[in-house]
Amino acid sequence: MKKLNNILLALLLGAIFSACTEYMPKPKGYFRIDLPEKNYKTFHQEGFPCSFEYAENVSNVKTSATNADSVWIDVIYPQCNARIYGTYRKVQGNFEQLAEEAYKLVYQPHVAKADGINSAFYCNDEHKVYGMFYELKGNTASNIQFAMSDSTHHFLRGALYFNNNPNKDSIAPVVNYIKEDIIKLINTLEWK
């Protein structure tokens, strides 16, 4: 019996001393995202009013006409569960209206959720491409938007969206990855 009491006492003391170790909760983690190297290809579709380069090995481009003056163009990233929704519209004396509409689509729905909105003016005199690039910080529905035009004939607006709830920490690497592609698209944009 004395031996059993000693064993129980040893187990009790062991449990007490092991329970006194300090516990530190671990921060929430996210899955590692391995993003492939990119190879760029020129998007040039007969009848489409502009051309640009996109990452051919991670995305694809889909177009659909809505009417004679407007065309949807989407750059789809199936591996990233993301899409750049683009809208091309002919400028017919309504440039200010189109520019104001693009501005409102950046600020009105996102200003309440955004931690900040950075904007940068873009100018390429050689190809007559001018516009704004917007980077929305925080848990916003769209992280990057842009509006490009020659102000007389062409207007292209785009917005990056993910097919999931926004969480800036978990999608940050993918946003930065696609941001490079959007900058490449803008830098290689040419009107026809």
pLDDT at 15: 66
Q: Which pLDDT band, with edges at 50, 70 and 90, does 16 fall under?
A: low
| CA separation for the pair 59, 41 (Å, rounded) | 10
| CA separation for the pair 159, 141 (Å, rounded) | 10
In this predicted model, which residue has the larger pLDDT, 45 or 170? 45
- Tell me the pTM: 0.80
Average pLDDT of the segment spanning 142-170 = 91
Per the CB < 8 A criterion, the answer to whether 166 and 136 are in contact is: no
Q: Which pLDDT band, with edges at 50, 70 and 90, does 6 fall under?
A: confident
pLDDT at 41: 94
Give the pLDDT confidence of 103-145 residue by residue, as tens digits.
999 998 877 778 889 999 999 999 999 999 999 998 888 899 9
Give all strands (DSSP E) within the chain, no chain letters.
40-43, 50-55, 60-67, 70-77, 82-90, 114-124, 129-138, 142-149, 154-162, 190-191
What is the identity of the amino acid at 54?
A: Y
Structure tokens at 30: 């996210």
pLDDT at 187: 97
pLDDT at 103: 94
